[in-house]
Amino acid sequence: MDKALQAQLIEGRNLISVLNVISKEDFSVSDDTILDKLFVCLENSAEIKDVLDSLYPEISNWLQTTLDGWGSGESKLIHGVQTFIIRFIGYIYSTVKGYKFLEKRNILSLIIGLVTKENADLSLVVAFIDTLRMLLKHHDGYIWVTNTSEGKRDVFTSTDHH
């Protein structure tokens, strides 16, 4: 195996490990900006982008489990992790392949349900709007955003209670 591919695989394993750690109930950070910094590093990582397609099965399983736990109240995720998850979903949805993979699991509907809860923080709504912006990077996402009233209506009306 060549060194570049090996580095990509290591980065991919590291990403999955990080996702598993931050979604644990006992996860906490002393610096509120650390998850923002993590997301920026992820967005800018060429190694992650190169290996991301092979991680979709694990990522979608992680998302399904994490979002189900968050939605049911079984998992108490800190606010920074919630925001990170929504931004990360936007990152995945920004590619056609990522969109198609996550759409099979109806991830956007799960997020809409979480963001439109009456007690949802406004920063989660902003993160979701950014996810919608990421969807506009390709035709399939554009079609979803323009044809799906579910996301637009529910998210934008949920801000009325703030």
Residues 93-109, mean pLDDT to the nearest whole number: 91
| Residue 31 pLDDT class (50, 70, 90 cuts) | confident
Percent of the chain whose pLDDT exceeds 70:
86
Q: How far is CA 124 from CA 8, 13, 52, 146, in A?
A: 31, 27, 24, 21
**What is 3-161's CATH topology?**
Leucine-rich Repeat Variant (1.25.10)
Q: Mind listing the pLDDT tens digit for each residue in 1-24?
A: 567 666 666 777 888 999 999 999
Question: What's the pLDDT score for residue 149?
Answer: 63
Token pair 């570049």 in the structure block, residue: 4
Does 92 have pLDDT greater than 60? yes
Q: Tell me: the pLDDT tens digits for 43-65? A: 898 778 878 888 899 999 999 99
